[in-house]
């Protein structure tokens, strides 16, 4: 969950001028390991918006199942998923520089080569860099819930976003969301249930059981200790 470093009043005044983004920028201190990740890992694993549409088969040197994670935070889950599935390719998008550095440092330390990273806004990546039907999965874990009613319009999961994701998923591809805010989970259900071209993979109720392939993060464990619930949703592109 990402907090703004803008004064609240200033952020509120400018909110009507902004498009919905996948993040709110915050400041953060860089450790030596994170800086190493940026210095050594970004030239090797980093991708840019300026490069435009990407041929990921060429980037990874193979054709493989492909997953994109929006907002990977400190990279813990993405690193674990990539290490557990070396036969798959992963693309991570995150604007928080210490988090980008931490993931890249992990890739260097574990000698992983099946991850590429966009250190920028996911909306721009989806619009400009990914071809139609290029993803097998898209992951959105614990996005900012914007819990105040007047901020609900800033939530990333909206009808237009659902259709943008659908365009990038292959037929049969899965959009997997997770949140520890029940109200946001209910909002996700409302948006996705009526989104054209999707089918819920839930069997009993609107949510799926906690998937084994989603690693448990420090953030989630802390929430569990505080008594927070976690809701997982999976919607498959059917046409």
> What pLDDT, in 10s, does the model give residues 43-57?
999 999 999 999 999
Which residue among the candidates 89, 144, 180, 232 is catalytic per the annotation?
A: 144
User: What is the predicted pLDDT for the residue at 8?
Assistant: 39
Indicate the CATH number for domain 54-237. Answer: 3.40.50.150
User: What is the predicted pLDDT for the residue at 19?
Assistant: 58
User: What is the predicted pLDDT for the residue at 11?
Assistant: 38
- List the one residue out of 148, 144, 154, 129 whose CA is nearest residue 21: 154
User: What is the predicted pLDDT for the residue at 154?
Assistant: 83
User: What is the predicted pLDDT for the residue at 106?
Assistant: 98
User: What is the predicted pLDDT for the residue at 151?
Assistant: 64
User: What is the predicted pLDDT for the residue at 16?
Assistant: 40
Using the predicted structure, report yes or no on whether residue 127 has a pLDDT greater than 60.
yes
Could you write out the DSSP letters of every residue in 129-171? T--TT-EEEEEEES-----SGGGGGG-S--HHHHHHHHHHEEE
State how far the alpha carbon of 233 is from the alpha carbons of 2, 139, 165, 203, in Å: 21, 10, 14, 11
Using the predicted structure, report yes or no on whether residue 10 has a pLDDT greater than 60.
no
pLDDT category at 24 given cuts 50, 70, 90 is very low
Rounded CA-CA distance 196/239 in Å is: 9
Using the predicted structure, report yes or no on whether residue 33 has a pLDDT greater than 60.
yes
User: What is the predicted pLDDT for the residue at 28?
Assistant: 62
User: What is the predicted pLDDT for the residue at 110?
Assistant: 98
Condensed to tens digits (0 to 9), the pLDDT of residues 66-123 reads: 999 999 999 999 999 999 999 999 999 999 999 999 999 999 999 999 999 999 999 9
Q: Give the residues across from 139 on adjacent strands.
A: 69, 176
144 catalytic? Reply is: yes
């Amino acid at each position: 969950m990402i907090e703004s470093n803008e004064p609240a009043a200033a952020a509120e005044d400018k909110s009507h001028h902004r498009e919905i983004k996948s993040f709110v920028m915050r400041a953060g201190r860089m450790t030596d390991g994170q800086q190493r990740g940026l210095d050594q890992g970004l030239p090797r694993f980093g991708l840019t918006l300026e490069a435009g549409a990407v041929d990921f088969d060429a980037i990874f040197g193979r054709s493989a199942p492909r997953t994109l994670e929006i907002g990977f935070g400190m990279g813990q889950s993405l690193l674990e998923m990539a290490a557990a599935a070396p036969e798959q390719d992963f693309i991570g998008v995150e604007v928080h520089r210490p988090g980008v550095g931490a993931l890249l440092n992990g890739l260097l330390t574990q000698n992983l080569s099946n991850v590429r990273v966009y250190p920028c806004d996911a909306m721009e990546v989806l619009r400009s860099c990914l071809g139609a039907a290029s993803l097998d999965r898209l992951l959105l874990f614990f996005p900012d819930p914007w819990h105040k009613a007047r901020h609900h319009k800033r939530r990333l999961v909206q009808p237009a976003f659902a259709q943008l994701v659908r365009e990038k998923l292959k037929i049969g591809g899965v959009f997997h969301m997770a949140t520890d805010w029940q109200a946001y989970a209910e909002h996700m259900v409302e948006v996705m249930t009526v989104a054209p071209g999707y089918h819920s993979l839930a069997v009993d109720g609107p949510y799926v059981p906690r998937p084994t392939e989603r690693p448990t993060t420090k953030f989630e464990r802390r929430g569990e200790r505080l008594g927070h619930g976690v809701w997982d949703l999976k919607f498959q592109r059917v046409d």
